[in-house]
Every structure is written in C-alpha cells, then in structure tokens.
Amino acid sequence: MTEEELDRLATIIADALLRERKRSPGEAAGTWLPVPVRPDLGSREGALPVWAGSAQSLDDVAPGRSSKSEPQARVSTAELTRATRAAAAGQDSRPPHSAAGRSPRAWRDRPKAAASIEVSIGVSNRHVHLSPTHFRTLFGSAAPTEERALVQPGQFAAKEIVTVTGTKGRIEGVRIVGPARGETQLELAFSDARILGITPPVKASGSLGDSAGGVTLVGPAGQVMLERGVIIAARHLHLSPEDAKRWGLHNGDQLDIRCGTGSRAATLHGVLVRSGKEHATELHLDADESLATGVRTGDRATVLAWRRPAEQRRPLVTERDVLAIARSGQQIPPGAILTPSARDRARAMNLLPK
C-alpha cells in the first residue's frame, strides 16, 4: 500500500471509532466492524450450495492416477470428492484411505468399497524343528514319523516329542514338527520362556542370527544343548499366492488384524505376511496370544490395515533407549537414527551395529 492509501485507511478507522464513542446512552454496545457470518448450509440431506468449495469437483484440477498392477492402489478423485462433501455436511467422519497411495500416515485403513479380508486362525503351541543331526542324536533314527498333516503344505506334527530343560525349569511333551530343517529351531511363548528361565527374542521363523540358547533338548536316545535357535515366533499370516493376489498383499507386508469378539477382542499390530507357493492362508498365533484374545484354532480374524516394508520408518533411538537396550542385552537396530547423546552413549557401551 502507498502512503496515501495508508492515510486514507487510518482516517476511515478513526471516523468509525468516533462514531462508536458518540453512540447514545440507551443504545446497545456493538462492534465497529461487521461480524463475519457463516452462510447457512441448509439441509444436510441435499446437495451443498454452489458457493461451498467442497461442492466443486476436483477431477479436472487433480485427476486421479490408476495402477493396472494394483487395482486397489488408490481411491478415485471423484470418490474422495464425494467423501469431502459428505464430511463438510456432517454425513461422514472421514474419506477412505487407499492401500498403496501416497499418504502422510504409515498405516492405511482398507477402502470402504473393498471386500473385507477374513482369515482363519491357527493356534501354534510350543514346538521344535530339528536338524537331521539333532534328530538322530535325540531319537536314534533318520527322520520323524508323521502323526497328522498340518495346514501348511508339506508340514506335519510328528509322533516324536522331547523334553526341554532350562536354568529354572523344564517343559515336557514338546512336539516335533517335520520335515527336518537345516538348523534346529525351538519356538516358545513368553510364558514358556519364563518357565525355562530364558529371554529369547521375538523373531520371524528362520531368523536365528541373534536367537537365544541355554536350553537342552532331551530325547529317548540322547540330548542336545542348544547354543542358539530359541525364539518367540513373531505373529504372522501365512498367505497363499492366490489370496495374496486377490487381496493385493505381498510377502513382507505388516498388518493390523482384529481377533476375538466381545470384551476379549483385540487388534494385533505388526503381523508379518509370509506368502509363497509353500504357504496356505492361516493366521498363526502362539498360546499366549490366543488366551489373551480368547480365540481358538478355526476362529476368524479380520485384516484392518497394512503397510509395505518400504514404508517402515527408521526408528529414532534416544539415550534412554540405549540404556534400555543395554539392560536387555540387545544391539542398536540396523538403520536406526540416533540422537547425538545416544550415539556417544552407544559407542561407549559398544552397542553400535557392526
């Protein structure tokens, strides 16, 4: 604004203030500028008026993009426009989220138009996968004997069982699951680990790099001391290739899954997807998780949200986190972002990733 325009504006304001001061004693006080008035939206049942910004379609301004490889990749702009109009009129809470479109949130709710994903639950009790060498040591024979087939293709519950002993206690009747694997893996629940007196990490099956040891497997023909291979299996969803393609999910995705009904129902986060030709669709929970959510083998669970591995954010580690990691005997997660004080503390305690 020029100086002349500023002088003119100051004069207008001064005149308005003088008129306000000269108001008669009986006249109600008010403001010297008009109060902004929000136009009436009218009935919520009808369409919004033309002057409402949400009544304008945005397809010509920001057209939606579609993906042939992932038909559920993004909700159309027209659908988002309708959801925005409804939200402005108080008819809906929020627009739907897409499965793989860009979003400031890492986790995505399924679009309302998408079919609900329900999967069967399989409760996995404590069990052990034995290497051929360990099986011969424990049972004196070449391979386990199949008792009954499991849902996962090629896997079976064997007739053979072992006793697991730890520093504090022992667990008898731990079932062998066949066929034999390249390395022995003992899968426990948290309550099992407490009985044995060990603290195994929560890991995906087969990830034994920093697994626990300190237990002995006792069989009819011998015993084996495990220096590693003991884990608490991370909750996971086995997914057949057909279901993975139908639902737009991929191996390595992480899910939010709702389990149970009534007051015991709970949403489990970070459920890992294991997909491939050797998998059949089934949600695997351990005995502790099944008790916590009140579910049994054969019950149904519902997938609520998911994310791709690339969308996982690098964890931020503070100095307090470093101390907690040191107390638990673990290492700083690879790729973590450390604050300056946390880095100094981790370097002094030799906790930085190799």
Please provide the CATH number assigned to the domain covering 235-309: 2.40.40.20
DSSP SS3 for 117? strand
pLDDT-based confidence at 152, cuts 50/70/90?
very high
Please compute the mean of the pLDDT values over residues 332-353 and round it to a whole number: 82
- Which of 221, 224, 204, 222 minimizes the C-alpha distance to 213? 224
DSSP assignment of 248-288 equals T--TT-EEEEEE--GGG-EEEEEEEEEESTT--SEEEEEHH
Q: Where in the chain is the domain with CATH 2.40.40.20?
A: 235-309
Please compute the mean of the pLDDT values over residues 235-249 and round it to a whole number: 93
Please compute the mean of the pLDDT values over residues 267-293 and round it to a whole number: 94
Range of lowest pLDDT (204-208, 263-267, 325-329): 325-329
Whether residue 197 is predicted with pLDDT greater than 50 in this model: the reply is yes
Tell me whether strands 156-165 and 146-149 are parallel, antiparallel or unpaired: antiparallel
Whether residue 93 is predicted with pLDDT greater than 80 in this model: the reply is no
Please compute the mean of the pLDDT values over residues 306-323 and round it to a whole number: 78
The pTM score is 0.57
Percent residues over pLDDT 90 in the chain: 46
